[in-house]
Amino acid sequence: MNSPVVDILEQLIHFDKSDTKPVYIQIAQQVINAIQRGYLQKGVVLPGSRVLSKTLHIHRNTVVAVYDELASQGWVEIIPNKGTFVLVPEQTTVAIKATSHHVKQAYAYSKQTGFPFQSSLNLASTSQATKARYSINDGKPDLRLHPVHEFSRWYSAVMKRKSLVSKWNTTPQYVSTFETQLCNYLNATRGFHIKPYNLISTRSTEMSLYIVSQLLVKQGDVVLVGNLSNYAANMIFQQAGAAIKTVPVDANGLDVQYIKRHFVKGSIRSVYVCAHRHYPTTQTLSAERRLELLELAKAYEFAIIEDDYDYDFQFNGSAMLPMASADANGVVIYLGKFGQSLFPSFQTGFVVAPENLISEAKNYLQLLDRQGDVIQEQMLTELISEGEIYRLMKKNIITYKERRDCLYKCLEINFKGVLSWKIPSGGLAIWLQFNPKISLIKLVEEADKNDLYIPKTILYQDKNTCAIRFGFGHLNEEEIERVIKKLKKAYKAVSLG
């Protein structure tokens, strides 16, 4: 007689060997579905590989691949010599004058224009050249986790579709299939109640913010940001002509009472906030302050730009729903990223806002990116509908949480009493504060001697602050240990010097 678990799996699991999706993935997804629906409870022991291979008439190695897939997503725990146990994991952006050529330079391309043009200090590049083997950033994902082979197959399949030609040759529809699918996905994951007319898809969050700033900001308009804030967003606002003013940020996020005390109705054009973790400090805006900010935006008639740059990386508990999901007055413009578990060329940005603003934003987008990327949109549409985006995100969350915990242990061993930090509930960066304060510029120089590159864009130092936004997502556990040791060596050189 079969065990109850074997009987359940035999009834629920069906697969098609002719399907392009691997058999082990088909089976793993159905086991996950059985766990989510309560057929398999936490702690239940799944049948051994021999028993399940015989039950489902598949090779034993396929069963092993199924269990490995489930373990990598955190749905089961494999204990050697004991068995495979079901888990229920928490779900948790000066004029130049031309110079004349000499005769000998007639066939060399000019280094300078023969006419003046307006350069921009606001858009000066922040990138730096380095030969260091190791580096820290502000919280970027690890591109090595991108499923290259699977994406090659998906991309190839989309490229072969005859329907692509007709999509390129016809006038773009106002609402694309991708926007409809993305709209449904956001409604399901972020608590929205939006329609495709409330959504626009862009190439990146930076493009989204650029378009929004062009619509909102006129020369001299006041935009409020945290007193430590996202430098890239500030560059975009300044380029649009905004006068940026800062607001204090504490353990509960942006200080809304400060805005009430220092500004009046009509004096603010927009307030820029981060939906989950303030950039760079990772402090979360409390639920109470979210409600205060929504009420103040309605009373003062300003726009809230809510940047949800790291929604996909929530480790503990469930992600807090964005303010835009509770916006009944049309005061929130929500910016997000989709596909952060993918290679950058497959990621996309999006804006959620009232229909009249989205309609105007699409006019700007047609000027900047009229053609778009039909192949990318088609593939992302299928990844949403087939649940692949969710699967990739779940696998990566497990990996990034392990890296965060590894970083915490390394900091405890090497920097206890020197650095202070708070382990964030999500995101790919941690806020490290030095006490006593040191020269961070000297720290960068010493780190470079130790083959470690620290970009100046993640350094925050003034009379009150001496901190680094330490991004760990792009480093595996072995690399994290090496980087922390190199950072400790650099710190000792600076503190002793």
Residue with tokens 């990772």: 282
Lookup: tokens for 269: 């054009």
pLDDT(446) > 50: yes
pLDDT(80) > 70: yes
Chain center to CA of 78: 30
Contact predicate 198/354, CB 8 Å: yes
Q: What is the pLDDT of residue 93?
A: 43
Q: What is the pLDDT of residue 376?
A: 81
Q: What is the pLDDT of residue 103?
A: 42
Average pLDDT over residues 18-34: 90
Strand 83-86, strand 76-79: pairing: antiparallel
Q: What is the pLDDT of residue 323?
A: 94
Q: What is the pLDDT of residue 121?
A: 67
Average pLDDT over residues 95-117: 60
How would residue 27 be classed by pLDDT, with cut points 50, 70 and 90? very high
Please compute Rg for the chain using Cα positions: 26
Contact predicate 14/31, CB 8 Å: no
Phi then psi for 20, rounded to 5 degrees? -70, -25
Lookup: tokens for 137: 């950033």
Query: Could you tell me the domains of the chain?
Result: 4-86 (1.10.10.10), 134-142+396-496 (3.90.1150.10), 172-386 (3.40.640.10)
Q: Which of 63-67, 89-93, 310-314, 368-372 has the highest mean pLDDT?
A: 63-67
Lookup: tokens for 220: 């001299």
Lookup: tokens for 86: 């079901």
How would residue 213 be classed by pLDDT, with cut points 50, 70 and 90? very high
User: What whole-number distance in Å separates Cα of residue 70 and Cα of residue 9?
Assistant: 15
Q: What is the pLDDT of residue 172?
A: 54
pLDDT(247) > 50: yes
User: What whole-number distance in Å separates Cα of residue 151 and Cα of residue 133?
Assistant: 28
User: Which of 127-131, 306-310, 442-446 comes out lowest in average pLDDT?
Assistant: 127-131
How would residue 372 be classed by pLDDT, with cut points 50, 70 and 90? confident
User: What whole-number distance in Å separates Cα of residue 305 and Cα of residue 333?
Assistant: 5
How would residue 94 be classed by pLDDT, with cut points 50, 70 and 90? very low
Average pLDDT, the chain: 88
Phi then psi for 301, rounded to 5 degrees? 60, 50
Average pLDDT over residues 440-451: 95
Average pLDDT over residues 373-400: 86
Number of neighbouring beta carbons within 10 Å of residue 3: 11
User: What whole-number distance in Å separates Cα of residue 367 and Cα of residue 365?
Assistant: 5
User: What whole-number distance in Å separates Cα of residue 195 and Cα of residue 199?
Assistant: 7
Q: What is the pLDDT of residue 493?
A: 94
Average pLDDT over residues 287-315: 95
Query: How many CA atoms does the CB half-sphere of 18 hold within 13 Å?
Result: 0
Number of neighbouring beta carbons within 10 Å of residue 63: 24
pLDDT(161) > 60: yes
Average pLDDT over residues 116-127: 71
User: What whole-number distance in Å separates Cα of residue 445 and Cα of residue 489?
Assistant: 12
Residue 119: strand, helix, or coil: coil
How would residue 175 be classed by pLDDT, with cut points 50, 70 and 90? low
pLDDT(79) > 70: yes
User: Which of 27-36, 285-294, 338-347, 350-359 comes out lowest in average pLDDT?
Assistant: 338-347
Report in angstroms the alpha-carbon separations of 371 from 172, 180, 202, 206, 374. Answer: 9, 18, 12, 18, 8
Average pLDDT over residues 110-117: 83
pLDDT(432) > 80: yes
Model confidence pLDDT, tens digit, residues 448-483: 999 999 999 999 999 899 999 999 999 999 999 999
How would residue 143 be classed by pLDDT, with cut points 50, 70 and 90? confident
Contacts (Cβ under 8 Å, ≥6 apart) of 282:
422, 424, 427, 429, 430, 431
Q: What is the pLDDT of residue 61?
A: 94
Per the document, the length of the chain is 497
User: What whole-number distance in Å separates Cα of residue 233 and Cα of residue 91?
Assistant: 30
